[in-house]
Chains A and B, each alone.
Chain A
Amino acid sequence: MGIFGSSAMILIGYIYWETSGYLEQQTNATISAEIRGLTEQFRQTGGPGVEAVIRDRIARDPDRSTLYLLVTADRQPVLGNLPAWPAGELDANGWFHFTQLNQDGRSIPFQGQILRTSEGHSLLVAKEQSTLAATRQLINRVYILALAMGLLLALFGGIMMSSSVTRRVDAINRTSREIMAGRLQRRMPVRGINDEFDQLAGNLNAMLDRIDSLIDSVRAVTDNIAHDLRTPLARLRGRLENLALTPDISETVRGELNATITDADHLLATFRALLRIARIESGTHDEAWTDIDLGALLHDAWELYHAVGEEKGITVHLGTADGHMRGDRDLIFQAVSNLLDNAIKYSPPGSEVRLEMREDGDLLTIAVSDQGPGVPEAERGKVLDRFYRTAAVSGIPGSGLGLSLVNAIARHHGGQLILADNAPGLRVLLELPKTDLAGPGRTTLPAAPPSGESHG
């Protein structure tokens, strides 16, 4: 817009300069031509002829736009429409500048040339400069108006253009945020006018489609592996179970069989957790969303796990907990129970685990703190990845999927999982918005009665 405005200003300035220069030249040229004409007249007809011409000119110009004055050598007027030789001065270019009072008593500037005749007479021919000044003023006015209008137009056009640009960039940003929040099926808006923005949106959409198909194929592979292996694994487990119950086997064999069943259970649990994370991350879970009384939920989780803590000599404290949010009650319970389970699992006997909640505007933060080994800062991002476990806990059984599942649940609810230092120990913060902010497209059904509204 700045460029547009200043280029308009430069253009108008140039026209002004050219026009006013031209006008001045025109005035000067008129006077010069008059003097030249009169000089010629002198040469041809001498004094009396010139006087006749001057008289004629004066008679034709009652407005006195051109002044004529013929004087003798001692400046006595002979003829003209000026009463007396005016006081004035000659400039370097031979122009004579002087002023005259008009009827209103205003002083009007004139400029002219002086012609000296062979008889010793001087002839002054002058034109009002105010005509020029008035014209210039008019031009000034017109140009200032034009400039103002030009600037206004530039401003308006600029605002229009930039607001249209902003609107379209905003639309792309909004869509990007929605996609980041998990609505992977969203696409950039295309206007259908095939401008640069449409091309950009088209390319982004093509890119998203490509990513989508890659994710789909990866997910399909993992899902299929997990799914296809679960059924035979379950059957295998069933056979082992039946075998372990047969009476005619030794206790050693029975022990081995039971250990194998436990291994199979771990495998099944891992597959189940993997599939669960995949399903939550793909974001098709909305039908179960209700209003959750988090205070009651945390109390239930505390009640379930403080007994587990007691068995290990760990005290589980329940701090303040009160608040409501929209979400999947079972998933939130799953998340809190995973966090409590981890905290108890990695805590030394005699230590404390705290479960508490804080409400901050639209954000609810569930905090689980322990006094265990904690997670080194450099590894805090990684423990949210699937199967990642820190060196400190390698001796303790675990799938490495517990926090990944919590993370997936947090993101599914538009929140996040933060690992912090409890000095000593780990402090896990599960931040959840009371209402899902991921976007208007996500269905959040009323608590009751559940309708058959479409989702995903």
Chain B
Amino acid sequence: MGDMRILVIEDDPGVASFIIGGLRESGHTVDHCADGKDGQFLAGSGNYDALIIDRMLPGIDGLSIVQTLRAAGNTTPTLILSALGEVDDKVKGLRAGADDYIGKPFAFAELMARLEAIARRPVREGSETVTEVQVADLHVDLLSRAVHRAGKEIDLQPREFRLLEYLMRNRDQVVTRTMLLENVWDYHFDPQTNVIDVHISRLRRKVDKDFDPPLIHTVRGAGYKLSESP
């Protein structure tokens, strides 16, 4: 997706320029604010597609900004940044009304993937419930849990199904390994090895191996992407 208007509220100049540079390179329009109070004022204008807010800011706490915005009915997708990066902070962040949370330091790809995931969420989950997803000749029925590719039924384990469902729902989007762990396995933890890679390769064997073209792509340094073209 590209060309979003994004507000970054971050007091650390290094981190701010790292984020802003990356976002602009990806084709987005970025406003920056280093102060919490000004940031809250700008964010309240409603002119943005997404907000990136640091947890600890001079003047006002990042979580208070989110709380204030949500209390005022502002639903701009919001990603919280934190130097603490711990689970309890994550819980607090999501409870305050943020859409996602990312601990410093982070790879830019992780930030981008999460930002795009939350920014498109309201569009995708809009009015009606999605009951089936189709990418190329891969068809997933979310109700009956049946998976077909090129008309052939594919038998998946429950977790493999959830993994595929998540990739399908976020098609053409990069999803990181952490996002998969959090959303498919529902645990926030640091695997010592890339356990996710193993599960992706098992899924590939069932979904991609005997078919063409491959749909699950590895995005170097970031994660995975399910799409018709790499």
Contact = CB atoms under 8 A, between A and B. Distances in A.
A227 B82 CA distance: 11
Interface string B49-73: 0000000000000000000000000
Interface in B79-93: 83-88, 91-92
Chain B CB count within 10 A is highest, among A230, A276, A337, A345, for: A337
Interface stretch (B123-131, B165-173, B189-197, B206-214): B189-197
Contact of A234 (B87, B105, B191): B105
A441 interface: no
Taking residues whose C-beta sits less than 8 angstroms from the other chain, chain A's interface range is 35 or more
A276 B185 contact: no
Interface string B137-180: 00000000000000000000001000000000000000000000
B189 A308 contact: no
B12 interface: yes
Interface size class of B (residues with CB under 8 A): 35 or more
Nearest to A275: B85
Contacts of A230: 104-105
Nearest to A279: B86
B221 A241 contact: yes
B41 interface: no
Nearest to A328: B87
Contacts of B86: 276, 279, 285
A293 interface: no
Interface stretch (A13-21, A46-54, A122-130, A297-305): A297-305
Nearest to A229: B105
A345 B193 CA distance: 9
A235 B19 CA distance: 10
- Chain A binding surface, main DSSP class: helix
Contacts of B85: 272, 275
A308 B190 contact: no
A275 B159 CA distance: 31
Interface string A257-295: 010010000001100110110010000111110000000
Given A232-B14, A273-B190, A227 B83 contact: yes
Interface string B1-30: 000000000001011001000100000000
Contacts of A286: 88
Interface string A236-271: 011001001100000000000010010000001100
A333 B181 CA distance: 12
A233 interface: yes
B224 to A, nearest CB: 16
A241 B12 contact: no
A76 interface: no
B18 A235 contact: yes
A232 B104 CA distance: 11
B107 A241 contact: yes
A330 B191 CA distance: 12
Contacts of B198: 307-308, 311
B109 A241 contact: yes
Contact of A231 (B87, B105, B195): B105
A233 to B, nearest CB: 7
A337 B91 contact: no
Contact of A338 (B104, B185, B192, B199): B192
A368 interface: no
B14 A235 contact: yes
Contacts of A338: 192
Contacts of A284: 88
Contacts of B220: 244-245, 258
Among B84, B191, B199, the most chain A Cβ lie within 10 Å of the Cβ of: B191
Interface string A329-341: 1110110011001
B188 interface: yes
Nearest to B12: A231
A402 interface: yes
B167 to A, nearest CB: 17
6 contacts: A235-B105, A238-B108, A304-B199, A308-B193, A334-B189, A450-B95
